[in-house]
Chains A and B, each alone.
Chain A
Amino acid sequence: ILNVEQSPQSLHVQEGDSTNFTCSFPSSNFYALHWYRWETAKSPEALFVMTLNGDEKKKGRISATLNTKEGYSYLYIKGSQPEDSATYLCAPMYSGGGADGLTFGKGTHLIIQP
């Protein structure tokens, strides 16, 4: 059973503040890491797919970093807005990657308070 841990489990942040949370995963045979945003009553949507150690990706106010040697990734949100409220899921992939399906962590549930 793959041990993917996300912390914190939930997070309340004031609008305008910046925040970050963590995804930890086994580093052996690592291939790629996916981040998804899942808004209530909607479908998960891809944010980033990262593969290289030290990789940093950015989409608007959201960015992510990756450390494949120690097995963790951080997701950062700058200047949080109410529309950022969602559950953020990470999913590492191993060995040859593709077509294997994703093993998601339990997610970090982010609530932005106006």
Chain B
Amino acid sequence: DTAVSQTPKYLVTQMGNDKSIKCEQNLGHDTMYWYKQDSKKFLKIMFSYNNKELIINETVPNRFSPKSPDKAHLNLHINSLELGDSAVYFCASSQDFYGSVDEQFFGPGTRLTVL
């Protein structure tokens, strides 16, 4: 069983479109994250959700909107896609709550290409 899954694995789309990436974890974790691997291969935190509530929103354009229908899912919706949004997006989860230091489990990544 895949612990953290993402769909789709590859996403190619035109500039200006709206798209979503889905993430699901079956680990029973309370916290989920979205990371972006930029063009320099640097992994950066975008969002953190704990029990469906937004904890962190780093300096991400408001075209990016995470949605957590339940604590096992954290989807990433992107409006008006731009060329600079092309990247690999990783979802992750952990049992973290404030004060804990649990390891994070990463999904396989979604490679988004904006043309």
Contact = CB atoms under 8 A, between A and B. Distances in A.
Contact of A98 (B40, B96, B106, B107): B96
Interface residues of A, number: 25
- Most chain B beta-carbon neighbours within 10 Å: one of A31, A42, A89, A97: A97
Contacts of A107: 41
Contact of B56 (A49, A51, A101, A106): A101
A100 B55 contact: yes
Contacts of A29: none
A94 to B, nearest CB: 11
A51 B58 CA distance: 25
What's the interface size class on B, roughly? 20 to 34
B15 interface: no
B98 A99 contact: yes
B45 to A, nearest CB: 3
A9 B76 CA distance: 31
Nearest to A109: B41
B43 A98 contact: no
17 contacts: A34-B103, A43-B107, A43-B108, A44-B90, A46-B105, A96-B98, A96-B99, A97-B99, A97-B100, A98-B101, A99-B96, A100-B48, A100-B56, A101-B47, A101-B55, A101-B58, A103-B45
